[in-house]
Amino acid sequence: MQVIAGREEDGSFTVQSPASTANGLDAAGFAALARELETSLRPRWVFPSVEGVYPVLVGAGLRVGRCYDLALAEGLLLAYEGQEGQSRSLRAAWARANGEEPPPDSTAVELAQPTLFETRVPTLPQGVTVVTAVRRVLAEQERRVAAAEHPERLRLLLAAESASALAAVEMSADGLPWRADLHEELLVSRLGPRVRPGERPKVLVELAAKISEAFGGRPVNPDSPPSVVKALAWAGIEVPAARKYLLKGIDHPAVAPLLEYKELSRLYAANGWAWLEEWVTDGRFRPHYVVGGVVSGRWASRGGGALQIPKVLRTCVRADPGWKLVVADAAQLEPRVLTALSGDRRLADVAAATDLYARLGEALFSGARWVPLSPDDDRDDRARAKIAMLSAMYGGTSGEAGPLLALLRQRFPDAVSYVERAAQAGERGERVRSRLGRTSPAPSAAWRALTGGLASDEAGEVKARRASRGWGRFTRNFVVQASAADMTAVMLATLRQRLPDPAHLVFFQHDEVIVHTPAELAAEVSSAITDSVTEAARMLFGPACPVRFPLHIAPVDTYADAK
């Protein structure tokens, strides 16, 4: 059963279903009708954009079971067809569906902060309603999917991405439990009393003074990398930049306060009092998630740093009394995805272990003598195995990575060949796809001009080779990372349906989810997460997939206790 719902240019809502046709509804009327249809029909809703319509329903306390997000689907199909960069708005999609050029001012529906009553709607031709446009575009999208190389995979991708959009809106509305009082205490303990915007907290002032004193009283601005580099040069220490990893190995009395200053300054700027006031209300952190915001399909966020919660702040993420946070993360997800993609049976045996890298170290170095390139290298077999695998997925060849990758290629040729074929395709300027059909963008015109074989000197040839290899590293990683995004999207879609009420998703990033649940349901939620990952692997790679995708699941009171 299918129901189409959208917002017209005047802000009113239109709904069309076999059971009813309603035009010109206000937000309350739309929510009431949607509730009736959801209860009686359990339909698949078709929205021009979940981000633009669904917050109205969630704000009215309604969660729908299934949907199809026309805008997200349009973006994925445009990329699949090599037309990325074009508008995915309903107006543009309507024009393309009718063989017309989209108007030049047509833009994608991008909502900075969707609210109940303020949503931008692309202008449709006179007399064309949103529902009429949606029906036409939906039919055209279905035709395009049917023409794809693997239409069943692409359909799964569009369904999973649409369900992810529902989850993103719900997560923003529910929010991540956050103790603002603990956050405040932490800031005061580390930075000193709160100061006015633009001023340095007391601890940073004291550290800045220590830094200058360590340089013999020479004025140094620790917030200015050039100032730090000049001060170190004055002390006879040459560094190309004032980055943390470059400073760590330097023996100078200014280094310790410099590193501490950098850490605390980052906390103050990214998650200080201003962040706390803007993003945490009523005991919840409510970020705005962007589904598929990264080209590989990973999520992004609009402000708030939702996908980068510092470890020091995880103690502020606490379950409500009588509730638990069920924190689950997939162990070494991307190497396991590569194993499933490539069908490498030997690597599948390795992936049967919970710690893939430890087992890989045994497989690579057992019975063999590995001679490190550097006599100071004291890394164990697990660390070297991790370097080898990351080199395969990201194209690293410098230092010890090259020989380790060669050893991995020798022992597991199917897995390494899979990513190397993707890299070679990228070096030729070709596109690659994820398991379900996410498609890499084409390299730029400047890249093609540089790598077109027209270099007139050796320096030009070096630049061309470097650019070609760089794009090959991108496509090498794309096939793995985008396929991992496929799998997590399917997992989110299935988990959202499996969670017992009133448990709900409150956090997601790449390979980790957090569910907020009554304590008595924590075991059921843990099982639902495990079952969802198993089902996602089956749906992507088939029932005979030999790869195991283990999870670390911890029901905890505070996020900091999950690791």
pLDDT one-digit tens code per residue, 196-205 = 988 999 999 9
Q: Could you report the per-residue pLDDT of 264-283, keeping only the tens digit for each?
A: 999 999 999 999 999 999 99
Quick one: fold of 286-333+486-562? Alpha-Beta Plaits (3.30.70)
Average pLDDT value for residue range 514-542: 98
Q: Could you report the per-residue pLDDT of 302-324, keeping only the tens digit for each?
A: 888 888 899 999 999 999 999 99
Average pLDDT value for residue range 272-296: 96
Q: Which residues contact 230 (CB under 8 A, 6 or more apart)?
A: none
Angle (nearest 5°) at CA 446 between 442 and 450: 105
- Confidence at residue 514, expressed as pLDDT on a 0 to 100 scale: 98
- Cβ pair 86, 54 in contact under 8 A: no
Q: Could you report the per-residue pLDDT of 494-523, keeping only the tens digit for each?
A: 999 999 999 999 999 989 999 999 999 999
Domain boundaries, the chain: 2-174, 181-276, 286-333+486-562, 340-477
- Confidence at residue 110, expressed as pLDDT on a 0 to 100 scale: 38
The single-letter code of the amino acid at 210 is: K
Q: Average pLDDT of the chain?
A: 93
Tokens 């079952």 found at: 531
Which CATH number does 181-276 carry?
A: 1.20.1060
Give the integer Cα–Cα distance in Å for 231 and 432.
47
Q: Which two tokens stand for residue 99?
A: 């063989």
Q: Which residues contact 506 (CB under 8 A, 6 or more apart)?
A: 171, 174, 175, 176, 177, 325, 514, 515, 516
Quick one: fold of 2-174? Nucleotidyltransferase; domain 5 (3.30.420)
**pLDDT category, 181, cuts 50, 70, 90?**
very high
Q: Could you report the per-residue pLDDT of 406-454, keeping only the tens digit for each?
A: 999 999 999 999 999 999 999 999 999 999 999 999 999 999 999 987 6
The 3-class secondary structure across 412-452, one letter per residue, is CHHHHHHHHHHHHHHHCCCCCECCCCCECCCCCHHHHHHCC
Q: Which of 516, 520, 513, 184 is nearest to 320 (CA)?
A: 516
Q: Which two tokens stand for residue 129?
A: 């309603």
